[in-house]
């Protein structure tokens, strides 16, 4: 019985280790050093920016929508970026343009691109591909420009910090063929999984959580120089006079399940504790069932053994011995067949 308990405990421990390993990167995001790769505010605030550092990101603004007729609620935001950057090339990637681009330049991804359940997954993935291919700055349609983006062009790649953890994919910039975005597009197919909640499916397959996980794993490789990805912090993103962007009404792809996920993010400590508690209770329940089954089995065969010894009969074979005898008989029969 002691060895059976040890074996069961070992099996449960291995299962728990595999579960923790599968979500290790996500858990690591809870303890990230958010300032390790932050862009110093002193370098990019308009009062301090001198323009001495040469730009290395191409002057291209990328945005996406299903067609060229952008809803009125986003037109002011879009126009603000166009008006502030007359010397930038502006590209609005429609659904038809996106599919044609993938089919022409990345045909290995076309089946995955067309197979996505939700349109936002295609909108997410195309932004990674165009940044990798052309470089430039991607901006969501609900992010209006508050000032020129020139200071951000001096970094080889940047993402923006989000709350409570990780980074977002609504504002990103990169030089062409950056190693980080190469890693991103290579991870899209392995991450194409579905979940019960549509919002979770989007988050983990193409959205901010997917990007945060890839980014965290990328930082573990200790990139240096031009391979480094810098982080635009929240004060420089919005809500201040020196911020680069102004947020407008957006998130049109959010459904009712998004509120559940928002609550989970806001209370991630409680959710993490509850998750480990549930795993512990599950392990305890399995151990109780396991113990009772084997205890009942041991009592049954012990009773049969005492009865057989008292009557002078041969003790009944154990279940494992019965299985071995059946296999041996079947093997002998097969060998005797012509």
CA distances from 326 to 31, 263, 329, 331 (A): 56, 56, 5, 9
Count CB neighbours of 286 within 10 A: 14
Q: What is the DSSP string of 46-79?
A: TTT--S-SPP-S-SEEEEE-SSS---HHHHHHHH
Residues 6+ apart with CB under 8 A from 281: none
Distance, CA of 52 to CA of 279 (rounded, Å): 55
Which residue in 159, 287, 180, 329 sits closest to 230, CA to CA?
159
**Residue 240 to residues 146, 147, 246, 247, Cα–Cα distance (Å):** 9, 11, 9, 11
The pLDDT, as a whole number, for residue 18 is: 47
pLDDT in tens, 71-97: 999 999 999 999 999 999 999 999 999
Coil, helix or strand at residue 160: strand
**Per-domain boundaries in the chain:** 22-262, 274-336
What one-character DSSP code corresponds to residue 150? G
The low-confidence residues of the chain, meaning pLDDT below 50, are 1, 18, 21, 253-254, 257-258, 262, 323, 337-338
Query: Across 162-314, where does the E strand assignment appear?
Result: 167-174, 230-232, 245-247
Q: What is the pLDDT of residue 163?
A: 78
- End-to-end CA distance of the chain, in Å? 46
Query: What is the C-alpha to C-alpha distance for residues 240 and 238, in angstroms, rounded to an integer?
Result: 6
Q: Residue 169 contacts by C-beta under 8 Å, 6 or more apart in sequence?
A: 124, 127, 128, 138, 159, 207, 208, 211
| CATH class in words for 22-262 | alpha beta
- Cis peptide bond upstream of 33, omega within 30: no
Question: How many CB atoms within 10 Å of residue 112?
Answer: 17
Sorted by sequence, the CB contacts under 8 Å of residue 178 that are 6+ apart come out as: 131, 132, 135, 156, 157, 226, 227
pLDDT tens digits, one per residue of 108-133: 999 999 999 999 999 999 999 999 99
What pLDDT is attached to residue 197?
A: 84
Looking at residue 143, what DSSP letter applies? E
pLDDT for the residue numbered 126: 98
Instruction: Please name which of 156, 132, 159 lies closest in space to residue 226, comparing C-alpha atoms.
Output: 156
- In sequence order, the β-bridge partners of residue 6 are none
- What was the pLDDT predicted at 164? 74
Q: How far apart are CA 114 and CA 122, in angstroms?
A: 8
């Amino acid at each position: 019985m002691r060895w059976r308990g040890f074996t069961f405990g070992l099996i449960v421990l291995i299962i728990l280790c595999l579960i923790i390993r599968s979500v290790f990167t996500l858990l690591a995001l809870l303890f990230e050093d958010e300032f390790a790769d932050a862009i110093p505010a002193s370098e990019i605030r308009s009062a301090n920016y001198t323009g001495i550092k040469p730009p290395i990101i191409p002057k291209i603004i990328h945005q996406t929508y299903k067609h060229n007729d952008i809803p009125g609620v986003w037109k002011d935001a879009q126009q603000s970026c166009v008006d502030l950057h007359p010397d930038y090339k502006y590209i609005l990637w429609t659904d038809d343009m996106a599919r044609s681009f993938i089919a022409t330049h990345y045909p290995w991804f076309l089946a995955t691109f067309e197979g996505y359940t939700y349109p936002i997954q295609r909108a997410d993935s195309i932004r990674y591909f165009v940044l990798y291919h052309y470089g430039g700055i991607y901006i969501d349609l609900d992010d209006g420009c508050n000032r020129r983006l020139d200071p951000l062009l001096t970094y080889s790649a940047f993402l923006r910090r989000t709350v409570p953890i990780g980074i977002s994919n609504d504002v990103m910039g990169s030089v062409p063929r950056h190693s980080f975005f190469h890693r991103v597009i290579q991870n899209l197919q392995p991450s194409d999984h579905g979940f019960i909640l549509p919002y979770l499916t989007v988050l983990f397959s193409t959205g901010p959580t997917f990007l945060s996980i890839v980014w965290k794993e990328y930082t573990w490789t200790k990139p240096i120089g031009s391979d480094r990805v810098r982080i635009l912090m929240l004060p420089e993103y919005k809500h201040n006079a020196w911020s680069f962007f102004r947020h407008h009404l957006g998130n049109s792809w959010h459904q009712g399940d998004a509120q559940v996920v928002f609550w989970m993010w806001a209370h991630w400590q409680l959710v993490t504790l509850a998750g480990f508690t549930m795993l512990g209770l599950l392990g305890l329940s399995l151990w109780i069932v396991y113990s009772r089954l084997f205890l009942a089995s041991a009592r049954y065969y012990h009773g049969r053994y005492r009865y057989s010894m008292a009557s002078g009969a041969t003790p009944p074979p154990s279940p494992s011995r019965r299985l071995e005898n059946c296999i041996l008989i079947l093997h002998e029969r097969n060998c005797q067949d012509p």
